[in-house]
């Protein structure tokens, strides 16, 4: 089969590779659409030791189950189902978790992928697979908003909310906030070519960080660098909350003294639970997350070019979706 294979820092190309073999409890899915994630970009740049070359990247997949033609979206987080965290529903915290696109599992930038049957959610016939593939990135924001609702001392629907980063994770977090009735949502983005796309999102404002003047109750940092953490800890109002999704860098930025003196909470949030993934899929199918018209489909064969365009800030769409 054809696959887009990561072969070393900034080296990725289409290769002929063996088709995967389904293990016990697994099925083969023919990929119809797969999103390009920021974590794929980190791996491509050589910044993710968890994803060594050679490797098939991509974990935001949707497609057809072999033998049945069932249309599905794929939860790429594979967990044991038996540990204390899994039994409590916190599947994303399973100590034995694996994820497609990270050894020992290959990813979805390919014609076929092997997936546990229980990780599939059926997609209605009226939902394009390109939109079904957004379930994974949108589930990150959905899960984060659910956690914030539990921890905020302010009513979420009345809160001033800021999302840092106008990529798919940030857009998804903003859409999840809007779906929960939040009326004051602003996405902060520094790439000017992305702004026209963000400005079309209904009920959501977008601006450069330098133009934002309010003091938010909630900041969701979908970039996760020292500069964005510094902005969040300096700007969040007393008693507010910072939710941290992004993993751009590991150190620096937080003003721990101000956060302590002003009782500003900090919440790390990783991927999503299995329940949050299913809830996100349902929200997409029911239209509660909007038209999802901010994606750019590209042939998988153009992968090397697309990675380079993203690295150089030339992609206006928050999400590129490859079509194998």
What pLDDT, in 10s, does the model give residues 222-242? Answer: 999 999 999 999 999 999 999
Nearest C-alpha neighbor of 240 from the set 142, 162, 154, 145: 154
Give strand pairing partners of 220.
163, 243
Q: Residue 250 — pLDDT band, cuts 50, 70, 90?
A: confident
pTM above 0.75, yes or no: yes
pLDDT given for residue 229 in this prediction: 98
Helices (H), 27-75: 38-44
pLDDT given for residue 248 in this prediction: 87
Backbone angles phi, psi at 29, to 5 degrees: -120, 125
Structural tokens at position 146: 């659910």
| Predicted confidence (pLDDT) at residue 243 exceeds the cutoff of 90 | yes
Tens-digit pLDDT profile for residues 2-59: 999 999 999 999 999 999 999 999 999 999 999 999 999 999 999 999 999 999 999 9
pLDDT given for residue 84 in this prediction: 97
Q: Residue 213 — pLDDT band, cuts 50, 70, 90?
A: very high
| Predicted confidence (pLDDT) at residue 249 exceeds the cutoff of 90 | no
In the chain the beta strands, taken as DSSP E runs, fall at 2-8, 11-16, 26-35, 55-56, 60-65, 71-74, 77-78, 98-99, 112-116, 120-122, 160-164, 184-188, 205-207, 218-221, 241-244, 265-268, 295-299, 319-323
- Site of tokens 């992609």: 315
Tens-digit pLDDT profile for residues 140-198: 999 999 999 999 999 999 999 999 999 999 999 999 999 999 999 999 999 999 999 99
Average pLDDT of the chain, as a whole number: 96
Sheet with 265-268, strands from edge to edge, namely: 205-207, 184-188, 160-164, 218-221, 241-244, 265-268
């Amino acid at each position: 089969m054809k696959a887009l294979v990561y072969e070393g820092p900034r080296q990725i190309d289409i290769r002929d590779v063996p088709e995967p073999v389904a293990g016990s409890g697994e099925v083969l899915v023919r990929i119809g659409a797969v999103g390009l994630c920021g974590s794929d970009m980190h791996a491509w740049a050589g910044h993710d030791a968890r994803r060594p070359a050679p490797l098939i990247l991509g974990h935001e997949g949707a497609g057809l189950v072999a033998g049945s033609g069932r249309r599905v979206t794929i939860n790429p987080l594979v967990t044991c189902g038996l540990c204390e965290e899994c039994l409590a529903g916190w599947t994303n915290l399973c100590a034995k978790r694996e994820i497609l696109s990270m050894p020992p599992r290959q990813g979805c930038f390919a014609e076929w992928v092997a997936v546990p049957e229980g990780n599939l959610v059926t997609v209605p016939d009226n939902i394009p697979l390109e939109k079904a593939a957004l379930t994974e990135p949108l589930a990150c924001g959905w899960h984060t908003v659910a956690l914030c609702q539990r921890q905020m001392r302010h009513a979420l629907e009345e809160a001033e909310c800021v999302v840092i980063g106008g990529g798919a994770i940030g857009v998804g977090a903003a859409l999840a906030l809007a779906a929960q009735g939040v009326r004051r949502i602003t996405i902060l983005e520094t790439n000017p070519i992305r702004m026209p796309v963000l400005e079309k999102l209904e009920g959501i404002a977008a601006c450069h960080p330098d133009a934002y003047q309010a003091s938010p109750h909630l900041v969701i940092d979908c970039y996760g660098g020292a500069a964005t953490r510094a902005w969040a800890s300096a700007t969040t109002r007393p008693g507010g909350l910072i939710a941290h999704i992004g993993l751009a860098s590991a150190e620096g930025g937080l003003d721990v003294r101000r956060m302590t003196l002003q009782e500003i909470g900090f919440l790390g949030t990783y991927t999503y639970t299995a329940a949050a993934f299913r809830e996100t899929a349902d929200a997409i199918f029911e239209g509660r997350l909007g038209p999802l018209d901010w994606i750019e489909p590209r042939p998988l064969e153009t992968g090397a070019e697309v990675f380079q365009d993203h690295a150089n800030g030339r992609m206006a769409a928050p999400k590129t979706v490859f079509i194998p």
